[in-house]
Amino acid sequence: MASAHFRAMAKPELKILLAAPRGFCAGVVRAIDIVERALEIYGAPVYVRHEIVHNKFVVDDLKSKGAIFVDELDEIPPGDHPVIFSAHGVPKAVPAEAQRRAMFQIDATCPLVTKVHMEAQRHFEQGLEIILIGHKGHPEVIGTMGQLPPGAVSLIETVEDAEAVPVRDPSKLAFVTQTTLSVDDTRDVIVALQKRFPAIKGPTREDICYATTNRQEAVKSIAAGIDALVVVGAPNSSNSKRLVEVGVKSGCPIGLLVQRATDLDWAQLQGLKVMGLSAGASAPEVLVNEIIDAFRAHYEVTVEKVVLREENVSFKLPRELRPAAAPAA
């Protein structure tokens, strides 16, 4: 009788498919390293314009070490403390204003975002009107559009936008894209643009960043065989939201985006047999482990790693932060 009672109380079994690659990309690692290295070399405070990356846990950790996050430059008091620009990039007017104020500025823009900025600048210098595929209001989109004069860039988000966007001269067009979009959705928009404007020029290599592509493909590889997908990431993280969308479109019945284990909706997560778990490019692995631990309280969990491919990309720190930049003792 006692053994039957034990079986009745036993937790149900759950297999968690841990998708890889997931979590931090090279651009995020570089951005966080920039803030931490600046604090080591120059001391606190270090000022950061906007969230260095879209993750509250990461931002709060950097705050505890002496970073101060501001919305605009005029919130920063006079002095020689570093001012860091976020990984998403900023309009040209921001570093110009920092220079006017004689601020010590350090640019943490992801090199892959900088590549898009340079593409847009090159197209503009060639006399082309530029169409940007991206999400209105996203910091990366604001930064990219801010590389050029007002009116030089038209923003579109959907296939319908591509079919309706007004242009001055269909023979003098180019497009660039936000780096953190869904590969599939972007492809559909590009096809619509190319159908309408056969002469439109695109990037020599796809603008969608390698990390975005890898994380989406890893989620696709497990989506059809799972009962639910949990993605660790912030609600304002474009690449994290796209991971959830990709999972659902690829056959997963439930997709949830959570910042922490406390955000898990257990009413939606009952009766699972197999669950997928991934993380956006600005979510640290410690939060992935926190999610797994939370599931252990409800299920008898086994974890299976599903590795689509390995990533070995890294980006150099700015010159100001390399070891030789450290002040002499």
Residues 6+ apart with CB under 8 A from 221: 19, 306, 308
What is the distance between the alpha carbons of residues 98 and 285, in angstroms, rounded to a whole number?
34
- CATH 3.30.365.10 given to domain 11-24+210-307: no
Tell me, which fold does domain 112-196 have in CATH? Cobalt-precorrin-4 Transmethylase; domain 1 (3.40.1010)
290 is catalytic: no
Q: Please, which residues bridge with residue 228 across strands?
A: 275
pLDDT of residue 238: 93
Split the chain (329 residues) into runs of 10 and give each run's mean pLDDT: 53 97 97 98 97 96 98 95 96 97 97 96 97 96 97 96 97 96 90 97 85 96 98 95 96 97 95 98 97 97 96 94 60
> Which CATH code of 3.30.530.20, 3.40.50.720, 3.30.413.10, 3.40.50.11270 fits the domain covering 26-110?
3.40.50.11270
**List 40, 119, 140, 245, catalytic entry:** 140
pLDDT of residue 69: 98
What is the distance between the alpha carbons of residues 304 and 277, in angstroms, rounded to a whole number?
10
Domain positions in the chain: 11-24+210-307, 26-110, 112-196
pLDDT of residue 9: 65
Question: Taking Cα atoms as reference points, which of 273, 280, 265 lies closest to residue 17?
Answer: 273
Strand order of the β-sheet with 300-307 is 255-258, 228-232, 274-279, 13-20, 300-307
pLDDT of residue 141: 97
pLDDT of residue 185: 83
Is there a shared CATH topology between the 11-24+210-307 domain and the 26-110 domain? no
pLDDT of residue 5: 46
